[in-house]
Chains A and B, each alone.
Chain A
Amino acid sequence: MMSMQVKERLAKAVIWSAALITVCILVLIIGSIMVQGIAKLNLSFFLENPRRMGSEGGIFSPLIGTIYFTCLTMLLAAPVGIGAAVYLTEFTREGPLVRVIRFTTDALAGIPSIVIGLFGFAFFVVFLKPLTGGWSILSGSLTAFCMILPTIVRTSEEAIKAVPEAYREGSLALGASKWQTVLWVVLPSAMPGILTGVLLGVGRVIGETAPLLLTLGGSLLIPHSIFQPARTLSMHLYLVAMETGEFSVAFGTAAVLVIVILLLNLLSHTLMRRLMARIGGR
């Protein structure tokens, strides 16, 4: 029979090592991607188009595709998501409608991305083909919009709720209308938090691949409009690794993705600190 103290120590050692393993896994993944990908990261890798299905050359066209696709998705999702959050927090009370909206937002967040991809294919690519051009950046963005809407609604809601009630009361007391209060007092105070949510959305959009396989087309040509097909960096990574087996290009692409994700993470932390400083933390 072990003494109580030994048991206590042993148990704590196990817990510490579990946490250590978790952190080590992260370091191992990021480390191995960077070590194997960093050699690829030179100017010509960024500025050359892929050749031979991506097994040679650079990542210029997927890079352009990613930028187009991410910007368009966020242009669609940010206003709608923030609008929904403002409605839910400022313009309504708890009631059946709000409960239904919350429930469906949660349900949407839970639907597997591949199923959203199936929907995007059936609806945007096939059904709305005359409007979207079939497989295109627009179809891909609309599909990704459906996927990240819940993320943006929820983080914006949290940010708006964190704005102290006194701000609103002060503004209303000065004779500002409800709308003016929201636009000039509440939203600016909540902005760092809202932007954090938007950045989170950007990260997800850049990393997402499965629904894009069904909607974005995967073309290696540089897209000239949102009605043309394209591919993103994540898609490029997958297609290159699976179809050509050219791991050096895949690792170079993965390293670019990891760097982007790290930067987004850093930026969102800076914003969060600023939000805390602005509204005094909670």
Chain B
Amino acid sequence: MSAAEEVVAEGHEAVEAVPKRAMTLGTGTSVVVLLLLIAVPLFAKNFVIFQLTQLLYLGLAVLALNILTGGSGQFSLGQSAFYAIGAYVTAVMMEQFNVPYFLCLPVSAVLCFGAGFLFGQPALRLSGVYLALATFALATAMPQLLKLNFLEHWTGGVQGLVVTKPDAPFGLKMSQDMWLYYFTLVVVLAIYILSVNLLRSRSGRAFMAIRDNEIAASAMGINVALYKTLAFGVSAAITGVAGGLSAIAVQFVAPDSFTITLAIQLFLGMVVGGVGWLPGSIVGAAFIIFVPNIAEGISKGLSGAVFGVLLFLVIYLVPHGARQVVVQSEAWIAKIKQK
């Protein structure tokens, strides 16, 4: 290929630059949100608590995608695959090998980290749409792989696996749902704090340098290949934990719960929450859990269309997602304080 044929593109970065301080909430707001998360289940019914648990682990999966896309600028439609691996590892260990549930999650994380890190290797040469296609392939392949015959002994094939819901330990007088909620909350909080610290660390800065300009980043001595695959690994590990939590909460895993639809939902969650803004993940998760229900409530036959219209409304009003709402309201509060 001759040089004259080459096209020069400039200025258009796939993911906008979010400064690392803008990626989190202030201390005051964090404490209020945390207190709310602790208090709400005490006044809610079991089904609502289950939905809140769902909100937490889906939020965790969105957060994982956010680290990958918002942090290191790599796009993935394959998150559902890592989610599936995490869910299956946890389910198989709990049911076939009787391992206690809290020990399954770290194993899910480690295995998914490995899977993500390995998948990151061929993905290194791809970016943008090409990377989207590669990850998409992973997402479409995963349900089929889980159905394979020689794995059926562990995975239960098309039928899937039923998982036993754990009881509250130490004789606590707490319903299973409520115990699971607090367990999930602790895991999610721990990972959230780790993620925030990761993005503030040397590695986090390397991710963001790569996101903002890969060539400049490598000129500054950042090992681009290492950090890109690392981002994939970390994201996959967190997604795996989210998958494991979902297996425990839903009490069931089957290949067809982890299709490309899940990956697309996680992607929408990220956009609605604000790309690169970690606390937005929970807002995004709320969107993907509750808005389809609202749409169904408005019109049964046209629920898809109503969902689409609602999604359009959100991205018109706040193209940068929940982050934009927070940034704007902070600016207003500052203005009011000045007066």
Q: Do A and B come from the same complex? A: no
